[in-house]
Chain A
Amino acid sequence: GQQVMQIPQYQHVQEGEDFTTYCNSSTTLSNIQWYKQRPGGHPVFLIQLVKSGEVKKQKRLTFQFGEAKKNSSLHITATQTTDVGTYFCAGEFTGSNYKLTFGKGTLLTVNP
């Protein structure tokens, strides 16, 4: 079946260090979305990438979509304690009725 794999599962960093999480899809995606979920909270939409090779930035967050539209990454520069949470990628496959297939997420913890 269509899957979205996400690594690493966990990442612990010192405040100020950078962080990256990666997603890979088994097949080409029509788009990929990123969400952040705080412990005990709900997923909050961060961004959507649609175009091949697209790069988008939100302050310290940089999102990339691969040329083949099968992989994506989220990079956080100089992490802060407020960045703590689980980051999920969610891919939309062509013809999927707009349902999202989520990766298992990367739990980021930041040591102050």
Chain B
Amino acid sequence: NAGVMQNPRHLVRRRGQEARLRCSPVKGHSHVYWYRQLPEEGLKFMVYLQKENIIDESGMPKERFSAEFPKEGPSILRIQQVVRGDSAAYFCASSRESGNTIYFGEGSWLTVV
């Protein structure tokens, strides 16, 4: 772990509730990436953000999902009205500059019951 902090590590939500996942990048890193991993699958790109800007959200579902990376504070991945199919591990990664090595956090495991 190169210092990317994610919380909560585990989150249980009932269908229809909201899930908020937080990511604090490595100190000095201004680029944040969110990936989703389903059981026994590879990681799927969701969104790439720089401070206050969404650079690429081509992997985000069109509805219920949103992400932000404010000037101050952690990046937030928000999932509204969760459904069982949202159950997955959500990994955040950060880099100092685009194109640099990215470092992953330990992930947030979301379970929707």
Interface residue? B63 (CB, 8 A) = no
Number of A-B contacts (CB under 8 A): 52
CA distance in complex: A61, B72 (Å)? 40
Whether A45 pairs with B101 at a CB distance below 8 angstroms is yes
- A66 cross-chain contacts in B, Cβ below 8 A: none
CA distance in complex: A104, B42 (Å)? 4
Q: A99-B45, A99-B56, A104-B41 are in contact. Are A42 and B107 (CB under 8 A)?
A: yes
- B105 cross-chain contacts in A, Cβ below 8 A: 42
Rounded to whole Å, the gap between the CB of B78 and the closest CB of chain A is 20
Q: How many residues of A contact B (CB 8 A)?
A: 20
Provide the A12-44 mask, 1 if CB < 8 A to any CB of B, else 0. Answer: 000000000000000000000101000001111
Whether B104 pairs with A102 at a CB distance below 8 angstroms is no
CA distance in complex: A45, B101 (Å)? 8
Interface size class of B (residues with CB under 8 A): 20 to 34
- A105 cross-chain contacts in B, Cβ below 8 A: 41-42
Q: A98-B48, A99-B59 are in contact. Are A43 and B99 (CB under 8 A)?
A: no
Interface residue? B102 (CB, 8 A) = yes
Q: A42-B1, A43-B91 are in contact. Are A100 and B45 (CB under 8 A)?
A: yes
A99 interface neighbour in B33, B101, B106, Cβ under 8 Å: B33
Name A's B-contacting residues (CB within 8 A).
6, 33, 35, 41-45, 48, 88, 90, 97-105
